[in-house]
Amino acid sequence: MNPVRNLAKSNWYVYVLESLKDKFWYTGCTNNLIKRLKDHNNGEVYATKCRRPFILIYYEVSRNKYDAFAREKYLKSGMGKRYLKNRLKYYYK
């Protein structure tokens, strides 16, 4: 039994994608970040299918699903958006 492999299966990710089409930021939550990014870019997510393609610009890892969804909710709030803009202030330079 590999403890590192077991840790990876139980992680939850809060992520921010940027549309290359219109620079729109989308915040979401998943337990499989790579698959979810592919889903967004393949048009399988209704909320983002008209804004493709996307790149991943930020993510955080949580060990608990409920913590991840709470963090997603925060990052979608006004304070959370300000946090992201401050955290990624050198992204556009």
Q: CATH top-level class for 3-87?
A: alpha beta
Of the candidate ranges 6-10, 13-17, 79-83, the one whose mean pLDDT is the lowest: 6-10
Give the pLDDT confidence of 18-38 residue by residue, as tens digits.
999 999 999 999 999 999 999
CA distances from 80 to 4, 8, 26, 70 (A): 31, 26, 13, 11
Quick check: 15 and 30 in contact, CB under 8 A?
yes
